[in-house]
Structures are given as C-alpha cells and as structure tokens.
Amino acid sequence: MPDALPEAAVYIVTSLDGYVAREDGGLDGLPGFAAGEDYGYAASMATVDALVMSRHPYETVRSFDAWPNGETRVVVLSHCGVDVPEALRRTVAVRADEPADVLHGLGPEGVRRVYLDGGRTTQGFLRGGLVTEMVLTRVPALPGSGIPTFGPPGGDVRLQHVETEASPGGLVQSRYRVAPGPSRGQSGRPPTRRGGAGDPVGAVGAPRE
C-alpha cells in the first residue's frame, strides 16, 4: 500500500482587503500585533512535522540572529541557487520539485503534516489541490495595495468553516478545512470530514498578481 500524502496546512496573516505585505515585503500595513502574542502560530507549528517554504521566506528567517525552526525539517522550493549554511544542512533541503512530488517524497520519511510558507508555495499547493487546512488571521487594516494573499488557484476552492476567534485587539482568526471536491481529487487524497466542521462556506478568491 502506498504511503498516504502528508496533510498541508497554511497559516496566513492578512489585511481585510487581502494583502499579506507591502509590495516591498514590509509589514507596516498589518498593525495590531500585541507584544508577546503570536495568535496561534506556535500552537499551529507544534502540530507539523516539516515546513515547506519559498525562497524569500527562507532568506528572511535566515537573516534572524537565531534560526527559529529548531530541528524541524525544512524544504525550500526554488529553481535558483539557495545558500544553506553547514549548520543547517542536516534539517534544510532545497528542491525544485512540483508540490505533489514534495509530499510524495516526505510521506515515506514519516512526515504526516506540513506547514506551507510563502505566497508562491501556497498558490502552487492550492492549484494542485493539496492544501487540507487553512488558518487565516485578519488584521483590521486596509493598506490598499501590496502582495495579495492568494493568486489564481486554478479553480474554485471550497472551504468548511471550523472555528473563528477574535482577539481584544481586533484580529479575527478563522480555521477552515478544504472541502472535498474535484480540486482535492488532483492530489489523490481527499481530506477527512470532521463532525461539527459545518457546511462548505466561502471560496478562495483569485486576485491578480
């Protein structure tokens, strides 16, 4: 029996008008984060076995004083040269594979759940019908322009609402499961229905890049 594909989860912080950052990558258009609170990011990361990220997010975290991902397995998707220092080569790998091939490679290694980081990476996995869960944290701000949260996913992506929580500072975090449908069939592994998840609601839009 072939190994099951790992689940792929997305954690996104976005403005109300659908931008994750300024055109230059700046985050000043997303105010509202209280000091010392991560709005569920650490809890979400504790549920994953590996990170799959684009080159730009990798280079951002590489610039930090300390590597923030500890011993968690990291796969960087890039067709360009990516520098991986000797100290990280045990846990960080660079690949130019298609999203489905990445998951097929990680499954036999015991990875059951991955976290996706980076707009291009998220868009690629959405187009392949490979995303199983999405956590969206909406910041009460309207920057008006910037890097869009989602690019064209290659078709409608229906979502099942799981839960929504609001913080005192005005941030609203919603958790969704990707609903079963034709787009999920592309991955060969439809998501498991969970009681109480509710009816399919909403759809991932397709703003222009």
> Which residues, at least 6 apart from 81, have a Cβ–Cβ distance to it below 8 Å?
none
Q: How confident is the model at residue 73 (pLDDT cuts 50, 70, 90)?
A: very high
Beta strand 73-77 pairing with 50-54: parallel
Over residues 113-143, the pLDDT tens digits come to 999 988 788 888 988 889 999 999 898 888 8
pTM tops 0.85: no
Over residues 35-69, the pLDDT tens digits come to 455 656 777 788 899 999 988 888 888 888 888 88
For the segment 3-20, the average pLDDT, to the nearest whole number, is 87
Distance of alpha carbon 67 from alpha carbon 30, whole angstroms = 24
Over residues 170-200, the pLDDT tens digits come to 889 999 999 876 544 444 444 333 334 443 3
Q: What is the structure's pLDDT at 18?
A: 86
Q: How confident is the model at residue 95 (pLDDT cuts 50, 70, 90)?
A: very high
Mean pLDDT of the chain, nearest integer: 79
Closest among 170, 147, 172, 169 to 161, alpha carbons compared: 172
Q: What share of the chain has pLDDT > 90, as a percent? A: 32
Structure token digits, residue 159: 């979502």
CA dihedral 79, 117, 145, 39 (to 10 degrees): -170
Q: E-strand spans in the chain?
A: 7-15, 19-21, 50-54, 73-77, 92-95, 113-117, 133-139, 147-148, 158-166, 172-178, 200-203
The secondary structure of residue 155, as a DSSP letter, is S
CATH superfamily of 7-203: Dihydrofolate Reductase, subunit A (3.40.430.10)
For the segment 7-16, the average pLDDT, to the nearest whole number, is 89
CA 106 remoteness from chain centre: 17
Q: Are 150 and 23 in contact (CB under 8 A)?
A: no
More confident position, 152 or 202 = 152
Distance of alpha carbon 63 from alpha carbon 43, whole angstroms = 24
Q: What is the structure's pLDDT at 39?
A: 59
